[in-house]
Every structure is written in structure tokens, then in C-alpha cells.
């Protein structure tokens, strides 16, 4: 659930300047030279002064790997001067999943001074910076740095002259568990999750009488909602990191499913915020003796976690380009953006729903957004146009889940929508009826989300030209993504599961 205020149209996001050496033509078959981010002298000096004011003793340099995991390295503040923002710090790129080969492993992290924050979870005062990943010799940005892909997608939007700003809002759902364990060995496989508020604990002595029944976890008060204080602690820590938190609540699944909504921002900033959100949530829960997962479907018989993604395009003055006189108050541009999403939805899923587990959420017969239709108030459609003030008009793409790399997922969504605008792809008629109540014959005519990660990857292999426009996604990125994800499928195929023993051991 998200309130997504009307500020979306009135807030003007400043244009960032990226000025540095450009990428080589050899790595850029489309002829587009993008530049690595570079800060101003004043920004670098202010960051160094802030380190002293805040009493930092360690500088933590962070970046996101290809799969979407935050990585880091620590530098003593005594070794961190103004030159660090230009000279950077080296690391072994061959040790990061899906990145460099061993014979060309050296890479460089360039800290982004504007991203300075103090980490609330460390024993010693620690300052953190997000980083750009570049070649140590040429200082050219690295094609597989997902944040660089996101920067390129925004630059491509501006150069297309379709719009100046893309705003993204992400509704991140997650589970908080009291305990979890798993084992995957040659001779055994098992997992166990537990939540004190879950219905399966109702038989235990001294466990309390207030348990949430399956699929009835949406909005109960205490004592059913036993996670309110943990969520509040997460909210306080997020606000301390500069987040504008809008709401916090229990979600539908009975055993610890939650959602905390924070304010939208431009595409790159929201992707940064999703990564920081995960960091803050996990560490807060750990301090409370609990564990958080953004895995889409951890519980077999209850709702899974999504990451509904809100999108709108704006002029430089902030005016909303999706507002018009067409269906649900959309402009023709907004409808064409929907058309692009629907045309490329299956291949988008390779990035927005990138795990094998993602497709245990995207199954027929439940509330999962698997039907590629668009509608106004109808939450059973994969693409929704929420009721909003004209200044806040937006699209809500409900299929993505929080296991995704947000830089790649948001970029793929933007590129699909822009392709729809450029080709004037109309999405057809809206579907305002309850999709779940339709007959099998009617449902057969509605396009569906992929039924597996393998199907999504096959769709990406066939349909990725729209991602290559302007070299936003390089061919190298697409091919490596396919290779890495198909590798996961190969391992999974060879691993028996407990369910198979239950079903087939006595066959």
C-alpha cells in the first residue's frame, strides 16, 4: 500500500552533471559515449570537512554488485583525503559475481561525495559513501556496474527529449522472522522459518493466544501485530538516514509480512534508497534478535512479497506528462508507456523478478499480478493507474518483487516504456472487471507473466533490443545476466527437495 502524494509533480529534481572521460567505442557498439560521474571541488571539500565534524574514524565505501547485493570496503579516515574522490581505491573485480576475469581483475571505486551518511549500526563512527565502479587505467565507467546502467537510462530519457525527469516509487514488502535455518547438502535439504505471531504456533504453551490466521495479516492491531515496535525502530533508523517515511504496516501474510513506504525520488536515487532500505531493515532486525528476508515467497501457503513500482515522467519544471484526458486521467504518452510495458513485460521479468523463487509468487489463482492488463482501481491487473491528483498521475507496475537489483529493474521498466512512447504502442482496452472472477475462456485471452525464471530468460534472449537503445544496457550486460541466471537454474535442477521425497520416495 502506498499513499504517493501529489508532491510528485510539484517537486523539480535537479539535473546532475556527469563530466569525465567517456567510454571507449569498442565497448559501445551503438556509438553512444556516456561519461562517468564526477563531483565538484566544493562537494569534495565539503565531504572531507563533514568527516571531521562527524568524528568519523572509518570510511565505508559501498557499491552494488551485478546480482543486487551491497558490497563494501573500509578505509581509515587518515588515508582518506580530497584526492580519494579522483584517485579512488582499487579492488579485485574477479571476486565479484559476474564481473571481471582473473586476468583483468583490477578495478577502482570512486566515492560519490554527495552520498555521505553516518552508519548507525557500527561500534566506531563510520562514514559511508556510494561509489562508481571504473577502470583503473582509463577511469571509464564499468559496463556491468548496475548503478551506471541506471544513470545511462536517465541520460537516455533526457536525450530522447521525451521528458526530463523519471520519478520512481517502490513499495518494498518483506518478512520478519524470529528464527530461520536451512541446509542444502548432497544427502539432505531442509529449511525452517518461525514467527511468534503465526497460526502454526497456536498450540504451544506460553506462546500467547493471539495468532494471525493465514492470509489475514493485513492491518491488524496489537496484540496480533507483534512487529509494530520493530517496524517503528526501522522507521526511526530510516529517518536518521534521510528517508521520508510515509507509512508502516503489517501485510497480508500471517507470519511476519510487513511493508514500510518511503517517498519517491528520481530513478537512481530511489534505487539507492532501496539498497539503503534493505541495509537498515536487516541491521535493525538483527539488533532485535530477528531476521528479515526480501525473498518473494518464503511461506508456501500464504502471500508472497512484491515491490510494486510506481513510474511517472515529468518536464524539467516538474509538470506531469502522464496527466491527460484519456482513460483514468492518463495522457496519450502515459498510455503508450503502458503499451511498452505490456509489449516487453515478460523480458522485463528477467530483471524485475530475477530468482527461481520469484515464480512461486507469480502463480495463477492467487492475488499475484500475473495478468498483463491495465486498469484504474482494479488491483488484480498487473498495471494499475492509482486514483490520484492530476499532478501525481502515475503507473503502478505490480509484478516486480524485492529480490531484484533495483538499478536494473527500474532501468528495464523505463526503457520498455520509452520504447512504447517512441513506437506509439497502444495497450488496447482497459480491463476493469475482477480478473480472478473471469471464466477460463476470458482469462485465456489475457497475456500472462512468465511461469518460471527460465521462461523469463528465454523472453529476454528474444526480446532485448529495446534495452540496447543508446547502449543503456550493453549486449555484454544482457549476455552475462543470461549466463549467470541460467547457471542458477542448472544448479537448482540437480537438487532434490524435501517435497520430492514426500511425494516420490515410495513410488
The verdict on whether 259 is a catalytic residue reads: yes
Bridge partners (DSSP) of residue 320 are: 314
Identify how many contiguous H helices and E strands the chain contains and give both numbers.
14, 17
Of 396, 401, 419, 464, the catalytic one is 396
Of 11, 199, 249, 379, the catalytic one is 379
Q: Where are the alpha helices (DSSP H) in 15-145?
A: 41-53, 84-87
Distance CA 322, CA 403 (A): 28
DSSP string, 331-374: -HHHHHHHHHHHHHHHHHHHHHS-STTHHHHS-TTSS---B--E
Instruction: State the DSSP H helix or E strand holding residue 90, giving kind and residue range, or none if neither.
Output: strand 89-92
Of 282, 361, 398, 464, the catalytic one is 398
The verdict on whether 379 is a catalytic residue reads: yes
Helix, strand, coil proportions of the chain in percent (round to 5)? 35, 20, 45
Of 308, 336, 384, 393, the catalytic one is 308
The beta-strand segments (E) located in 159-306 are: 165-177, 179-184, 189-194, 245-250, 257-262, 265-266, 291-293
Distance CA 454, CA 482 (A): 10
Q: Is the peptide bond before 172 cis (omega within 30 degrees of 0)?
A: no
* Contact present, 235 and 260 (Cβ < 8 Å): yes
The verdict on whether 308 is a catalytic residue reads: yes
Distance CA 404, CA 294 (A): 9
The verdict on whether 92 is a catalytic residue reads: yes
* Contact present, 64 and 98 (Cβ < 8 Å): no
Q: Is 396 left (phi over 0), alpha (psi -120 to 50) or beta?
A: beta
Distance CA 335, CA 332 (A): 5
Nearby residues of 156 by Cβ (< 8 Å), 6 or more positions away: 415, 418, 469, 470, 472
Of 145, 155, 225, 251, the catalytic one is 251
Of 140, 155, 171, 419, the catalytic one is 171
Instruction: For residue 125, give the C-alpha cell.
Output: 563512527
Please state the length of the chain.
507
Of 49, 92, 239, 479, the catalytic one is 92
Q: Is 227 helix (H, G, I), strand (E, B) or coil?
A: coil
User: What are the φ/ψ torsions at residue 13 (nearest 5 degrees)?
Assistant: -85, 125
Distance CA 51, CA 60 (A): 12
Bridge partners (DSSP) of residue 170 are: 309
Of 178, 259, 261, 272, the catalytic one is 259
**How far, rounded to the nearest angstrom, does the alpha carbon of residue 268 sit from its chain's CA centroid?**
11
Q: Is 184 helix (H, G, I), strand (E, B) or coil?
A: strand
Of 65, 173, 178, 272, the catalytic one is 173
Residues annotated catalytic, as ranges: 92, 171, 173, 251, 259, 308, 379, 396, 398
Amino acid at each position: 500500500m502506498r499513499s504517493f502524494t501529489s508532491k510528485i509533480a510539484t517537486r523539480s529534481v535537479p539535473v546532475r552533471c556527469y563530466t569525465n572521460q567517456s567510454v571507449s567505442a569498442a565497448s559501445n557498439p551503438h556509438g553512444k559515449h556516456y561519461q562517468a560521474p564526477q563531483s565538484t571541488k566544493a562537494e569534495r571539500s565539503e565531504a572531507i570537512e563533514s568527516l571531521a565534524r562527524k568524528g568519523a574514524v572509518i570510511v565505508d565505501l559501498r557499491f552494488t554488485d551485478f546480482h543486487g547485493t551491497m558490497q563494501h570496503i573500509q578505509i581509515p579516515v587518515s588515508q582518506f583525503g580530497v584526492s580519494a574522490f579522483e584517485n579512488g581505491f582499487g579492488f579485485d573485480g574477479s571476486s565479484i559475481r559476474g564481473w571481471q576475469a582473473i586476468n583483468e581483475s583490477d578495478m577502482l571505486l570512486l566515492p560519490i561525495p554527495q552520498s555521505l551518511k553516518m552508519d548507525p549500526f557500527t561500534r566506531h563512527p563510520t562514514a559511508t559513501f556510494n561509489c562508481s565502479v571504473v577502470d583503473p587505467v582509463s577511469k571509464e565507467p564499468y559496463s556491468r556496474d548496475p548503478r551506471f546502467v541506471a544513470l545511462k537510462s536517465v541520460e537516455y530519457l533526457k536525450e530522447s527529449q521525451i521528458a526530463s525527469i523519471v520519478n520512481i516509487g517502490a513499495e518494498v514488502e518483506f518478512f520478519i522472522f524470529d528464527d530461520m535455518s536451512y541446509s542444502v547438502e548432497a544427502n539432505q535439504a531442509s529449511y525452517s522459518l518461525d514467527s511468534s505471531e503465526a497460526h502454526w504456533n497456536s498450540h504451544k504453551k506460553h506462546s500467547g493466544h493471539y495468532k494471525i490466521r493465514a492470509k489475514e495479516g493485513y492491518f491488524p492491531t496489537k496484540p496480533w501485530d507483534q512487529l509494530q515496535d520493530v517496524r517503528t525502530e526501522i522507521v526511526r533508523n530510516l529517518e536518521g538516514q534521510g528517508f521520508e517515511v510515509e507509512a508502516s504496516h503489517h501485510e497480508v501474510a500471517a507470519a511476519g509480512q510487513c511493508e514500510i513506504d518511503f517517498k519517491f525520488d528520481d530513478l537512481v536515487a530511489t534505487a539507492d534508497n532501496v539498497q539503503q532500505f534493505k541495509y537498515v531493515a536487516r541491521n535493525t532486525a538483527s539488533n532485535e534478535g530477528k531476521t528479515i528476508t526480501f525473498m518473494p515467497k518464503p511461506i508456501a501457503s500464504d502471500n508472497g512479497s512484491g515491490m510494486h513500482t510506481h513510474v511517472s515522467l515529468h518536464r524539467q519544471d516538474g509538470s506531469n506528462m502522464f496527466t491527460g484526458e484519456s482513460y483514468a486521467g492518463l495522457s496519450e504518452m502515459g498510455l503508450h508507456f503502458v503499451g511498452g510495458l505490456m509489449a516487453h513485460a515478460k523480458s522485463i521479468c528477467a530483471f524485475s523478478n530475477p530468482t527461481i523463487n520469484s515464480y512461486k509468487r507469480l502463480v495463477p489463482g492467487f492475488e499475484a499480478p500475473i495478468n498483463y492488463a491495465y486498469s484504474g482501481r482494479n488491483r488484480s491487473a498487473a498495471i494499475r493507474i492509482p486514483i490520484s491528483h492530476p499532478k501525481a498521475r502515475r503507473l503502478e507496475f505490480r509484478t516486480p518483487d524485492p529480490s531484484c537489483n533495483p538499478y536494473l529493474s527500474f532501468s528495464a521498466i523505463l526503457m520498455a516504456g520509452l520504447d512504447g512512447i517512441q513506437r506509439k504502442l497502444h495497450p488496447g482496452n482497459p480491463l476493469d472487471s475482477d480478473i480472478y472472477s473471469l471464466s477460463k475462456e476470458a482469462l485465456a485471452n489475457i497475456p500472462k507473466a512468465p511461469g518460471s525464471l527460465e521462461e523469463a530468460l528465454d523472453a529476454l534472449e528474444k526480446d532485448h533490443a529495446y534495452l540496447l537503445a543508446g547502449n543503456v544496457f550493453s549486449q555484454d550486460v544482457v549476455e552475462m545476466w543470461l549466463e549467470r541466471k541460467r547457471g542458477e537454474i542448472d544448479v537448482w535442477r540437480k537438487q532434490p527437495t524435501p517435497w520430492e521425497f514426500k511425494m516420490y520416495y515410495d513410488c
